[in-house]
Amino acid sequence: MRKVILFVPLLISILLLSACDHLARYTITEQEVNQALKKHDNYEKDIGVNGLATAHITLTDLQSAIGREEPGKMTLSGKASLQLTSLFGQQNADIFLKMKAQPVYNPDQGAIYLQDLQVTDSQVRPEKLQQVVNALMPVLNQSLQDYFRTHPAYVLNADRGTGEAIAKKLAQGLEVRPGELVISLTR
């Protein structure tokens, strides 16, 4: 009986501590980020290289892998449709992109932005256009950096529930964990 009396307060303390830990952070899952990234599908941009060629690029099918490939980073994959016009005529290609970026929380907007975005891999179909795409890659990379610097990957919304409303109001920082973004609500 005495063991039961000692066990009950211990159990209550453990439950309270775990509840407090849950109240000290808000978690955004990879699936939630992927849903938000669908808003960026059909990102379109025209880029050119000194009058030699112009390219119309449409980005679709964005997916994230949070903290899985590199600690503290988010990896994005997606498809870019390319319409290339040059002195040799018009050609079309599909580019399968892999990018990495640093998620950063902006407390004034309650939004998570992707900074320092870099295209880390690209596979082009048809393969014969790989060299042409490689020449355009610095311009495409800069364009994507500029876009994700000004368009958040995820925005906290009080309409989604009490948890997001509290997180938006009390957020102190952002931690990247495998498969999730964790917003700290305390220092």
Q: What is the mean pLDDT of residues 68-87?
A: 94
In a domain, 112, yes or no: yes
In a domain, 128, yes or no: yes
Q: Are 152 and 106 in contact (CB under 8 A)?
A: yes
In a domain, 93, yes or no: yes
Residues 71 and 119: their CA atoms lie apart, in Å, by: 17
Residue 7: predicted pLDDT = 53
- Using one digit for the tens of pLDDT, what is the confidence trace for 19-57? 444 458 899 999 999 999 998 887 899 987 777 788 999
Residue 23: predicted pLDDT = 57
| Ramachandran angles phi, psi of 13, nearest 5° | -60, -45
In a domain, 3, yes or no: no
Domain of residue 103, residue span: 25-184
The beta strands (E) that lie in 13-73 are given as 25-29, 43-49, 53-66
- Using one digit for the tens of pLDDT, what is the confidence trace for 98-151? 999 999 999 999 999 999 999 999 999 999 999 988 988 999 999 999 999 999
Sheet containing 180-184: which strands, arranged edge to edge? 25-29, 180-184, 173-177
The reported pTM is 0.83
CATH number of the domain within which 68 lies: 3.15.10.40
Residue 164: predicted pLDDT = 86
